[in-house]
Amino acid sequence: MLRKDNFFQKGDFFMAIKYKWLAGTLRDLIKKDVKNQINKLPSEQELCRRYHVSRQTVRQALNLLTQEGLIEKRHGSGSYITGHSANLSDDQIAILISDDSNYIYPGVLDDIQGTLRKYHFSSQVHITKNETYEERKILTKLLSAPPRGIIVEGSRSYLPNPNLDLYRALQKKNCRFVFLHNYYQNFSQIPFVKDDNFSGSRQLTEYLLSQGHTAIGGIFHSDDLQGAERFQGFMETMRNQGLPVPDSRVGWFNSHDLDHLQRFQDTGFLKKIVQDSLESCTAVVCYNDMIAYFLIKELNLAGYHLPDDMAIGAFDNTYLSNSQILTLTTLSHKSHEMGTAAANMIIQQLKGIPVTFLEVPWTLIPKGSTPDNLLDNL
């Protein structure tokens, strides 16, 4: 009896060592799989064969990993990597965004953080103010205790970014990235979620053309990628209609102008654009609702009667497009799409699911700033 008891105890002991050893081996396999974009563990049968262990040992090891939150079993399908660490408090996602208080940002942040919470990832928000200098300070701090992933709205995204040294260092520490709204041209092959700006701009321009406008101007952001893309959609649509746009009809502003507009309501650059670029135009494609909102004020000051003297279209469908003075024809997304997609794409990477990029389409919402009666008046 004594011998038999001892034998059983010894057997249990070896069993325990075995499945813990296997669990450790599988933890390493999970890391390797995620790197190689494999989301699913081998079948129980395959694990038995590969590691020369019994079905029971495999099941015990998989149960342990499930309890730790590293995998989830799906009935009849197998064991899938969840993207979580054994320690849930390590599952931090950092969000670098230019603003959190204004315009589209509170909504986008809600969507990102809500989605992350749903999948048990916590998040910290860092405000870059659209400045690469702030971005650098934040990335430097993050590098000392890297989060599992970072969702980044690039700062001055159309310029060569000076912080790629830090982005690359974070990548080496296994940190994953998703770019939001834009990406850096000199830091390619990173997943991103952004608007389909080219097609949006084409839609808006075609709408203005369909209303009979031929002399259409544009106002775009010169140092973010969205500006360049919206410009390109506008220019190529006009060109394809046999109406190439004189360079003087396009007005440009930069991050510095935008900052002064938001902080001091300094509309100096818009006053110049009204004078230098829009004089010969009957319609204008605006970078976004905010620019259009302040442009309306400038046009009124300059004696324009709106909407008759100048049709205006913009991007973002924010509260600024529903102002009492004049409602704005603007492009819109399905609600929540962008932020939700960004959060999902960072989690998918942690799970080992391959992600590339997503371009969210725009839908045109015609409102008061583009009256339909132009052709009748001509």
Task: Answer whether 252's CB lies under 8 Å from 276's CB.
Answer: no
- 11, 24, 106, 160: residue in contact with a copy of itself (rule CB under 8 A): 160
Q: Which residues in 206-249 belong to E strands, given as ranges?
A: 216-221
Distance CA 340, CA 331 (A): 19
Interface with a copy of itself includes 262 (CB under 8 A)? no
> What is the Cα–Cα distance from 176 to 198, expressed in whole angstroms?
27
Tokens matching residue 260: 């002064």
- Nearest-approach distance from CB 138 to a copy of itself, in angstroms: 12
CB of 176 or CB of 221, closer to a copy of itself: 221
Specify the pairing of strand 329-332 against strand 71-74: unpaired
Nearer Cβ to a copy of itself, position 15 or 169? 169
* CA-based nearest residue to 311, from 184, 189, 174, 205: 205
Single residue of 276, 308, 309, 372 touching a copy of itself by CB under 8 A: 276
In angstroms, what is the minimal distance from the CB of 65 to a copy of itself? 42
Q: Does 199 bind a copy of itself (CB under 8 A)?
A: no
Element (H, E) at 199: helix 197-210
Q: Which stretch binds a copy of itself (CB under 8 A): 35-43, 224-232, 288-296, 346-354?
A: 224-232
CA distance to 76, 288, 308, 313, per residue, from 303 (Å): 71, 22, 12, 19
Question: How wide is the angle at C-alpha 77 spanned by C-alphas 75 and 81, nearest 5°?
Answer: 95
Give the one residue of 153, 223, 224, 316 binding a copy of itself; rule: CB under 8 A.
223
Specify the residue, 17 or 164, whose C-beta has the smaller distance to a copy of itself. Answer: 164
Instruction: Report which residue type is found at 147.
Output: P
Q: Give the SS3 label for residue 96.
A: strand
| Contact call for residue 245 and a copy of itself (CB under 8 A) | yes
Taking CB under 8 A as the rule, does residue 304 contact a copy of itself? no
- Least gap, CB of 51 to a copy of itself (angstroms): 48
Residue type, 200: G
Q: Given the DSSP bridges, would you call strands 363-365 and 329-332 parallel, antiparallel or unpaired?
A: antiparallel
Site pattern 120..159 for a copy of itself (x: CB under 8 A): -----------xxx--x------------------xx--x
Which residues 80-99 are close enough to bind a copy of itself by CB under 8 A?
A: none
What CA dihedral angle connects 85, 86, 90 and 91, to 10 degrees? 40
Helix (H, G, I), strand (E, B) or coil at 198: helix
Provide the minimum distance between the beta carbon of 222 and a copy of itself in the complex, in angstroms, as a whole number: 5
Q: Does 46 bind a copy of itself (CB under 8 A)?
A: no
Cβ proximity to a copy of itself, 74 vs 256, nearer residue:
256
Closest CB to a copy of itself among residues 5, 247: 247
Q: Cβ neighbours of residue 101 under 8 Å, at least 6 residues apart?
A: none
Q: Does 372 bind a copy of itself (CB under 8 A)?
A: no
Residue 69 tokens read as 């939150």
How many residues sit in the footprint of a copy of itself (CB under 8 A)?
A: 33
275 binds a copy of itself (CB under 8 A): no
Per CB under 8 A, does 247 bind a copy of itself?
A: yes
The binding site for a copy of itself (CB under 8 A) comprises 131-133, 136, 155-156, 159-160, 162-163, 165, 185-186, 222-223, 228-229, 231-232, 235-236, 239, 244-248, 251-252, 254-256, 276
